[in-house]
Chain A
Amino acid sequence: MAGEITQPTVTVGPADLIYRGINPQYYQQGQLTSGVFVLKRKHTLEQGPSVGIARLIPLASFHPLMGDGWGVGAFDASVPQSQTLAVHPLPDPRWKEYVHAHAVITEYQKLSDKRRTDVERVLRDALQKNILIKPTEPATTK
């Protein structure tokens, strides 16, 4: 679990590069689905999409924090910020020496259902443009 809600000790500016883990379930035929960013009205801060602040954690250290087969994409913090969302630093002890590199996307709880889906799509498209490590596509089963 992420740490208690505290005042951010780091700030995230629009030019900050943000890493996002990509669950293979959200990757098909080389395309991301919008499930990679699920934004729910009832989400608490800690339930917001988890991201890494690139200047505080190398990609090579971020990727192993994700699950098996996961990929990594990146986007500028300006993308969610342009949609009135915030990238809120939220230290996560599970990230050990990179505890302060953890952040969550938030401030979408106030949006309408329609608008939240709009934003999910915007974030999907932004991440699609910069997939740094491709996830392993789930094997088809019959």
Chain B
Amino acid sequence: MNYQSIYFTDGTPAPTQHPLSDSGLLAWGCYRTRNIANFTREVHDFPNATVSIRVGSSAGWLEQLAGITNVSVGVASGSAITGKISVGQVVATGLFLEGTKRVSLGQAAQLVTGFVEDFAPGYYGGNLIYGTTDTLALLGNVQQITMVEPVGASSFAQFAVAREYSLSDQLARLRKLPHGWDGEGAQPISETTCETADTVIKGLWQMTLSHSVIPTVLLGPLPDGSLRFECKYADKELFLTISEKAVEVQAWQPRDAVESSGYWETGPVGAMEHLEWLVK
């Protein structure tokens, strides 16, 4: 039998155990699919609880798929992959499909509050669960449940390509900005700056594939004709500001930190090591 349980930190099971049937369906039948990889839970009453999760063959995706939780989540699997998600941590990358589970009693609660903060709409591949009043009664004051599915390499690659395309598309648009695009005399983006940005986009793509993570990246112009990549992953944020062939790098961790943890002046090749830092 698969299982998931919430434990207090002293090891005492919280009164919210939810045995799964062998089919991978919860006893009250609230899952849309059998293809369950893991769960995360945001629980009001158990801020110090640990959620034990059994995962299948896609355990390598765990860190990306774990979602958010305000509980401490310990992850273990038969393939001995373990991970620890700290309290309040947002695991910012994954392939989730925002789903709407039809619930029998019709009292659906939106359980994904805050979850999609770092994800581009339309790029989710997985499921989010909605609860019924019965479910909530069983779970106690559970505020959020997230169910995710393992995703295959092909899906991931498709996403990576789509993201690269999106950034390249944005760069193509920014390349055409005229003088004064901000209404106050902003400079157009030079060809050299665009070429450097293109190099960074390619580096991001390689990073995505080699680390199997997908940081959230926005590419925006600045009035002096430079471009800035604003990249987020997990509890980190990275700015790459490109002016001609130069790249200024600034990093923050945790993301709610005001003061950056570092500032570097480098080039597109040097920027890669900072992207590595972002996704590790």
Interface residues in chain A, defined as those with a beta carbon under 8 Å from any beta carbon in chain B: 23, 25-26, 28-31, 33-35, 38, 40, 67, 83, 113-115, 117-118, 121-122, 138, 140-142
Find out whether the CB atom of B221 lies under 8 angstroms from the CB atom of A141.
no
Q: Cβ of B260 and Cβ of A118 under 8 Å apart? A: yes
Determine the residue in chain A with the shortest Cβ distance to B168: A142
CB within 8 Å for A25 and B220 given contacts A33-B228, A114-B263, A121-B252: yes
Which B residue's beta carbon lies closest to that of A122? B258
Among candidates A30, A35, A113, A142, residue contacting B221 with C-beta atoms closer than 8 Å: A35
Chain B interface category by residue count: 20 to 34
* Min CB–CB distance B223 → chain A (angstroms): 6
Contact of A34 among B169, B230, B259, B263 (CB under 8 A): B230
**Is B134 close to A, CB under 8 A?**
no
Q: Please name 10 pairs of A and B residues whose Cβ atoms are closer than 8 Å in the assembled complex, sorted by A.
A: A23-B183, A33-B218, A34-B239, A38-B222, A117-B250, A117-B263, A122-B258, A140-B173, A141-B172, A142-B172
- The segment from B57-65, B147-155, B174-182, B268-276 that touches chain A is B174-182
**Once the chains bind, are A31 and B169 in contact (CB under 8 Å)?**
no
A25 touches B260 (CB 8 A): no
Alpha-carbon gap, A28 to B173, bound state (A): 13
Q: Are B169 and A25 in contact (CB under 8 A)?
A: no
Q: Contact between B260 and A23 (Cβ–Cβ < 8 Å)?
A: no
State whether B259 touches A118 (Cβ < 8 A).
yes
Asked whether, in the complex, the Cβ of B223 is within 8 Å of the Cβ of A35, the reply is yes
**Given the complex, which residues of A lie within 8 Å of B220, measured CB to CB?**
25-26, 28, 33-35
A25 & B259 in contact (Cβ 8 Å cutoff): no
B121 adjacent to A29 (CB under 8 Å): yes
**Known contacts A25-B182, A28-B170, A38-B223, A141 near B176 by CB under 8 Å:** yes
CB <8 Å contact, B183 and A67: yes
Q: Is A35 touching B252 in the complex (CB atoms < 8 A)?
A: no
Return chain B residues, CB-CB under 8 Å to A142: 169, 172
Q: Does B120 contact A (CB under 8 A)?
A: yes
Q: Taking the complex as formed, is B224 at the interface, i.e. its CB lies under 8 A from any CB of chain A?
A: yes
* Chain B, range 246-270, C-beta contacts under 8 Å to A: 248, 250, 252, 258-260, 263
Complex CA–CA separation, A112 to B222 (angstroms): 18
